Structure 1
Amino acid sequence: MPDSPAAAIASTYFPGARCENERWVRSEMLGLLDHWFDWRKSLFPDDFAATSEAAAAPEARADLSARLQELAQALTAETPTHTPRYIGHMKAEISLPALFGWLAAMLHNPNNTSQEASRVGSVIETEAVAMLASMLGYDPAEAQGHFTSGGTVANFEAVWRARYRMDHWLSLGLYVAETTGEPLDVFAAAHMGWDRFRELWDQHGLTDATLRRYSAAVGNPAAVWARIGRAAGRDYLGPVLLAPGTKHYSWLKAANVFGLGEGSLWSIALDAEGRLDIEDLDRLIREARAQGRPVLTAVSVAGTTETSEIDPIDAVHDRLEAWERDEGVHIWRHVDAAYGGFLCAVLGGPDEAALSPASAAALRAIGRADSVTIDPHKLGYVPYACGAFLTRDRARYAVSAFDAPYLDRPELGDGKWASTLEGSRTAAGAAATWLTGRTLGFGPEGLGTLLAETVRTARAFRGAVAAAVPEVRFLEPVDANIVCFSLAREGEALSSANARTAALFDAIHASAELSASRTTLGAGYARLIDRHLASYDGVKDADGLVLVRCVFMNPYWADPANRGLLFPQIAGFIRRHVEAAAPALRGAA
């Protein structure tokens, strides 16, 4: 590879698209195994050996070897996501620090459910969380968090904590209403904030045992909701979740899992560029207040799963902080940065210009959120399954236990099992993230350099393909490293363009040389679809927009030689498909 910072990182910290680092990787993996074997043999040397080489059954070993080879051969049919030819989904090569860290931890198999079961793994997790916190803009000395199996569970963790906080505030509001006879303003009570909560707590001389009787999370929720309705003078319909139309499917799952119902998930409209509309967020909060339904959390997205848009997170925080300041309404703010969170590594360095000023400002604002989801198994180049959930501080991390002293909450003991939705949790993902942070680094001189190059690659791809195939219509804007496009002639009807785009994807899918993905933007993207159609005077005769989706997160794109080789091949594939379909189109016309 050429001697550029990003190319040097790809050459050093990854296996190599053609296994260029094979000899060194073999050596390091064998070294890990040697270390593991030596450690095991050094412990308790006088203990009786339950097995021996001579006692092993050769037939069983031969069968195991054969089955292992069978499995290895079967896996050669797996999708080859390590190559830059794969631009299908948010999956690519894993880094060597992540691979080595994952393997080292897995050999010891620690369970991060408690420090007793994971003396070292739990410490590594704490240190890795601090690294991620620093990258995201949190104070690593204050931030709390843990690793999860992925972004879905991490998003669930946010809902769990937001509910914990809201339940305390609403329980106290119900207590005051029932003991004084004052009407209950559900929305105001559920968003009162900790200062007001402490004031009322002290004023009424409350205890944990007393407040538990007013909690829907601790008691029978149906019964407590009925009491809330009586105190408020109208039926209580429960809280709502606010998330943009680009939201991940995990938010619908969360509404179901937490018993809120799908109707509780309110979609924030998207603007003409496919990002969260601030004015609609404000409208929905007012609507929730009018209906007496608290806002459990307001979600913004840093790197949507479809097209990688980055919501105006800074403006979202500005608006919600205005609600706190002017109305006394405290709403839990969560950023779903499962994909784009690692782009924070680009900030503050020489490559920040790869991001638009709006994207950079949005990413800088992540540290103002109450909680964040991030997936190291995406742009952190860590093996599956590895997500992480972080909060700004210990108070926001508190959950589950209903002890009054969340004002001064005691530690939960030697493990996080009581504060994580998952019980048993491997330390492997934390170890992979930890070693990546300790070597490559999560700053602008390390991972940030590589990620900035993937963003530049996406833009270079657009330029190369647009020059070769004028009928390719790229979706604008591109905030990160995902590029989406359709096929359309000037003035073509959307239904016709959709059919031709779908046919192109089918051809790509059938090819052994290239992998891309397909997505369809629905009615929630109406303004963005209109904007896309206007770019070629298209006729809107359908609601959805079919797109070919290309994800340029592979580290080997940092080598310009890969662009020089593969961009013309991809453009040529598209051009040949368009030309082959042209006679049929003329005939149809």
Structure 2
Amino acid sequence: MDHQRMAANLGDAEAIPSASQIAASYFPGLGSQNETWMRAEIQRLLDHWFDWRRDLFPQDRRIAAAAPPADPVARHLITERLDELARALTAETPTHTPRYIGHMKAEVSLPALFGWLAAMLHNPNNTSREASRVGAVIESEAIAMLAQLLGYDPSKAEGHFTSGGTVANFEAVWRARYRLDHWLSLGLHLSEKTGWPLDVFACAHMGWGRFGELRREHGLDDQTLRRCSAAAGNPTDVYRRISRAAGRDYLGPVLLVAGNKHYSWLKAANVFGLGEEALWSIALDGEGRLDVADLDRLIKRARGDGRPVLMAVAVAGTTETCEIDPVHTVHDLLERWEREQGLHIWRHVDAAYGGFLAGIVGGPDEATLSPGSATALGALGRADSLTIDPHKLGYVPYACGAFLTRDRARYAVSGFDAPYLDRSELGPDKWSSTLEGSRSAAGAAAIWLTGKALGFGPEGLGALLAQSVRSAREFAGAVMTAHDDVRVLTPIDANIVCFSLGRQGEPLSSANRRTGALFDAIHASPDLSVSKTTLGEGYRRLIDRHAEGFSALLDEQRLVLIRCVFMNPYLSQPEARSRLFNEFGRMVRLLADATH
């Protein structure tokens, strides 16, 4: 890594920094310890930017000199309004402090901030290389860094940055639909041409190899297949033709997503016209993770119903409790379907939150993860596509998500026409293969500089994230000893801890009410910030297991939890953890008694 080589050059005996050293060196500092250096670096960025603007076309200086002077009234107005904005923002949620353990946000790292600012000054638009000569190259290099982190071959992987995980998940649906539509279009054409009954499920999962063979054998071109495409033509008409060819009503594809899914998947079913009924929820096991046996059952059900599986989605780091699904076992199952029956089902992993935890795997801190979680994170690279959010555990500014595929074939989408952008001499552009048109290069630059300066592996960001997992488990132990009624939700897969209140034999409805009252009391405090989540029917087995821990009367099927996210970099310092955990424990002891 770059910092290792730098340390060697400086004669530093300890080339691999600890988590606390990373927090001290790569972040502004809890007490703004890096203020002087940070101011100097930002000033250098501004100096470089102004020098570039002034020196780029010296022949234009005469025009600039002839411009009217700046209006002092306008300057004064801008200054006044800027002061007003700055004062207003002092009331913003202080997510930089370890006292904030509410949601998946924390301090932004210095490399990310510097990279973001440097790109924003130039304001490149990564829609094309004409609009972003350097930004587009930085994006490609940053995607390669993320690909390596996630287990893809960076020389083959494709991807781009998005505004966040929701759009990245949409990108996956778009590509899975593109692939499924191609295969099913070919099957419909051959069925209508030959009169053979259409096996919808088999055709929709035939694979590119079989697709290519049939296309060459029958001399089919794109225009012919477009006439059988629900995406390129009239979907109502194509569905009617599929129904006639199959001899049964065709109800469209289904989307199989783990029951611990993010809300973006429901949005995707709506936006892509699948309908909410097409979103089939995969059952969760007693620990809140995807039940692979139920995934297999749902695939068989879809096959029996003649409904293709658009994609199967596992989650690496759920938004509620950070469960990490058994990604490796999901891959084993779907690869077996492919190997034994020739059925190719798109595999997507929503690693928006947990993807960066892969940087722990293979290093000295891997034991901070459970063996199952480490194996699952190590299997991310077997997916067809992945979502990851750098603005979460990548510590870069909002808004920055990323979508990646294993190779160029999986990245393919429908073609579009924009003559002012479609210029082959500029090289490969992203505009036609991204749902968003204009895209800032700032997020890519933030990741690029983070990767170059710190790195994402076990000796870089991975070391900081490993400490965040240890901090979460240390907190879980501390809060359990704070009061006899505290019930921590287990297992703790990473750096989110959820807990509830519950007396022995207490009805769950009463425990939920008391937990909610405790949250309200903590939330009212100006000193500490937490969040709350409620697990519902999809988590039934996990709720039952948690309730068994205090022999609760199951008079309702929901579980109210106080949710604490431990991603703040300064929690790597023992003093910060000790102060926060002791203060939190005192508050819980006081307030839990008051909920009786």
TM, length-normalised to structure 1: 0.96
Residue 265 of structure 1 corresponds to: 279
User: Do structure 1's residue 475 and structure 2's residue 492 form an aligned pair?
Assistant: no
Question: Residue 511 in 1 paired to residue 525 in 2?
Answer: yes
Could you tell me whether the CA contact under 8 Å between 2:325 and 2:376 is conserved in 1?
Answer: yes
Select which of 15, 20, 24 maps to 1:7.
Answer: 20
Pick from 429, 433, 454 the counterpart of residue 440 of structure 1: 454
Q: Which residue of 2 aligns with 1:417?
A: 431
Q: How far apart are the structure 1 equivalents of 2:17 and 2:475?
A: 19
* Cα distance in 1, alignment partners of residues 79 and 594 from structure 2: 49
CA distance in 1: counterparts of 2:143 and 2:594, whole angstroms: 52
Matched letter for residue 46 of structure 1: Q
SS in 1 for 2:257: strand
Other-structure match for 1:40 = 53
Q: Check if 1:109 corresponds to 2:123.
A: yes
Are positions 1:199 and 2:213 aligned together? Answer: yes
Partner of 1:333: 347
Q: Name the structure 2 match of 1:219.
A: 233
CA distance in 2, matches of 1:229, 1:115: 44
- AA in 2 matched with 1:317: H
CA distance in 1, matches of 2:129, 2:565: 39
- Counterpart mapping for 1:445-524 below 5 A: 445-524=459-538
Residue of structure 2 equivalent to 1:293: 307
Q: CA deviation at 1:95?
A: 0.2
Where 1:452 maps in the other structure, the secondary structure is: helix
For the Cα contact (< 8 Å) 1:212–1:402, is it kept in 2? no
Paired residue secondary structure (1:34): helix
Is the contact between residue 169 and residue 350 of structure 2 (CA under 8 Å) also seen in structure 1?
A: yes
Displacement, 1:59?
A: 1.1
- CA deviation vs aligned residue, 1:500-556 (integer Å, no higher than 9, x gap): 000011011111000000000001100000000111111111111000000000111
Cα distance in 2 between the residues matched to 1:402 and 1:292: 31
What is the aligned-residue identity percentage?
71
Query: TM-score, normalising length from structure 2?
Result: 0.95
Deviations along 1:29-59, one digit per CA (max 9) or x if unpaired, are 1110111011100011121435779711111
Deviations 1:131-189 (A, max 9, x none): 00000000000000000000000000000000000011000000110000000000000
2:102 to 67, 77, 88: 88
SS of 2:228's equivalent in the other structure is: coil
Structure 1 partner of 2:244: 230
Q: Distance in 2 between matches of 1:356 and 1:299?
A: 22
Alignment-derived partner of residue 406 in structure 1: none
- After superposition, residues 518-537 of structure 1 pair within 5 angstroms as 518-537=532-551
Q: Which moved more, 1:291-300 or 1:51-60?
A: 51-60
Is 2:63 the partner of 1:24? Answer: no
Q: Confirm or deny that 1:181 pairs with 2:163.
A: no
Partner of 1:407: none
- Output the CA distance in 1 between the equivalents of 2:129 and 2:566: 39
Structure 1 Cα separation of the partners of residues 401 and 65 of structure 2: 38
Q: Which residue of 1 aligns with 2:330?
A: 316
CA contact (8 A) 2:17 2:459 kept: no
The Cα of 1:470 is off from its aligned counterpart by 1.8
| Stretches of 4+ aligned residues off by more than 2 angstroms | 48-54, 410-414
Q: Identify unmatched segments of 5+ residues in structure 1.
A: 404-409
Residue 391 of structure 1 aligns with which residue? 405
Distance in 2 (alpha carbons) for counterparts of 1:254 and 1:67:
40
Contact preservation (8 Å) 1:116, 1:414: no
2:572 corresponds in structure 1 to: 558
List gaps (5 residues or longer) in structure 2: 1-15, 418-423
Preserved CA contact (<8 Å) 1:170 1:190: yes
Conserved? CA contact 2:129–2:426, under 8 Å: no
3-state secondary structure, aligned to 2:58? coil
* Structure 2: distance between partners of 1:338 and 1:19: 29
Give the CA RMSD over aligned residues. Answer: 1.6
Q: Aligned equivalents of 1:136 and 1:578: distance in 2?
A: 42
Match of 1:18, SS state, is coil
How far apart, in 2, do the equivalents of 1:80 and 1:402 lie?
Answer: 44
Give 1:152-167 correspondences, 5 Å limit: 152-167=166-181
